[in-house]
Every structure is written in C-alpha cells, then in structure tokens.
Amino acid sequence: MVPGVRLVLLGKQGAGKGTQCVRLSRHYVVPHISTGDMLRSAARSGTDFGRQVAEYMRLGELVPDEVMIQVVEHRLDQHDTKNRGFILDGFPRTVHQAEALENLLNPRGLDLVLDLEVPTEVVLERLASRRVCSVCGSIFGIDNPPRRGAICDNCGGELVQREDDTEDSIRRRLELYASSTEPLISWYLDRRKLAAVDGLGVPERVTSRLIRAIDNRRHQLPDVGD
C-alpha cells in the first residue's frame, strides 16, 4: 500500500477541491476530511451545534475559528488519521486556523499544502453549474457532467444545487477567500510547504498533476512514515 500523507488542499470555492480530494484520498488511502461536509452533516442532523453553524453557512460567512479548531482537533485525534494521515479540504481557512493546525500536528507537521489554481471567472462558471448528489455527496459540473440528467452516476441519487451556491453567498465566500484564506499561500510558502498546481482541465489531468507534486515532495522527505 502507498504510504500515508498529511496534506492540505487550498483553492477558491469551485476550484475542484472536493472532487480532487476524493480522488487523492483513494490514491493514497487516507481519509478525506472536508470541514464543509462535516458542518453540512451536523446541520442536517438538527443538533444545537448544527443549527448554529447552518446560519453561517447559508450566508457564506466563516464559522468562528475556535469552533472550527475544536472540530478538526477532534477529527485528527481519530485512529484512521493517526495511522495513515489525511487530506484536509476547507481547513485551514485563516492564518489563526493554520497556526492552530501547526500546533496540533507538532512535531511532524504537514507534508505539503497544494494550492489548486483556477481563475475567478472559471470558478464562477463552475459554481453556477455545480450539482451535488443528495445521497452520496458526489460532485458534478461543467467539467464532469452527470450521464443521466439530474441523477447521480455513482448511486442513482437526486442531484441538487448546494444551498449556499446562491449569487450573494458565492460573492461573500469569494471575498472571504481573498481576505482571509489567500494570505495562507504566502504563509505556507514562507514555511516551504506550498506547491501550486494548475486546476484547469478535466479532473483526471488535474489529479495527475497533484499526484506528481505530492510524490515529488515525498521523495524529498527524509522519512514519510506509513
């Protein structure tokens, strides 16, 4: 089996992080940790916590750092991530979250942070066409349309638009990406953890670029463990 990895995927909303994380998680056999998916599932479950975070999500606002750090700390403490590693999708989104993650992961830290680069006009087009499976969460869109209309290729579930893929929420999320998350690119560059990868093209080609960047880095690491 391929040795585990500890990765973060950065990229604007609609850059293809979710799709690529699923593919990378199969390739490296590590859990895909999407904080957005975790919050959506909490919101669906209707708990107090779910109700609190649902409103932030609907408006496209960020859930407070301290809440998110606790959620991720708990998840990273599970057996699977401890053994194999993880691919983080949607976390960190602020420098404060990145600092907390660094503390949580001491002493080994992350192997690599990938910045999936896609121009804003392309992500806007992708977000407008994005549909997700209401049963299994598979993502479809302009670069990977479903074969049968609004039906999921993988499980036959109904494809729907994400509740926060509205014009106002998309604008707000992209603003917050620019002001709060983009600074992480230079933050990780300064720490020699960053690799930028072109996110344009069909999912298969983007995955090959990501794997190349990750494997290049792993060959440079003294001991990537298992």
Shortest distance in whole angstroms from residue 184 CB to ligand AMP: 11
What pairing do the DSSP bridges indicate for beta strands 32-34 and 85-89? parallel
Tokens of 61: 């606002």
Query: Which residue in 11, 16, 85, 90 binds ligand AMP (CB under 6 A)?
Result: 90
Specify whether the CB–CB gap between 185 and 98 falls below 8 A: no
Which lies closer to ligand AMP via its Cβ, residue 61 or residue 182?
Answer: 61
Specify whether the CB–CB gap between 138 and 131 falls below 8 A: no
- Please give the Cα distance from 32 to 30 (Å, whole number): 7
- Please give the Cα distance from 27 to 202 (Å, whole number): 17
Three-state secondary-structure class, residue 41 = helix
Catalytic-role residue among 84, 173, 193, 217: 173
Closest C-alpha among 219, 199, 195 to residue 208:
199
Q: Does 113 bind ligand AMP (CB under 6 A)?
A: no
Which lies closer to ligand AMP via its Cβ, residue 49 or residue 56?
Answer: 56
Q: Does 207 bind ligand AMP (CB under 6 A)?
A: no
Q: Does 11 bind ligand AMP (CB under 6 A)?
A: no
Catalytic-role residue among 17, 84, 126, 217: 17
Instruction: Please give the positions annotated as active site.
Output: 17, 93, 130, 162, 173
Residues that bind ligand AMP (CB under 6 A): 13, 35-36, 39, 56-57, 60-63, 68, 90-91, 93, 97, 164, 173
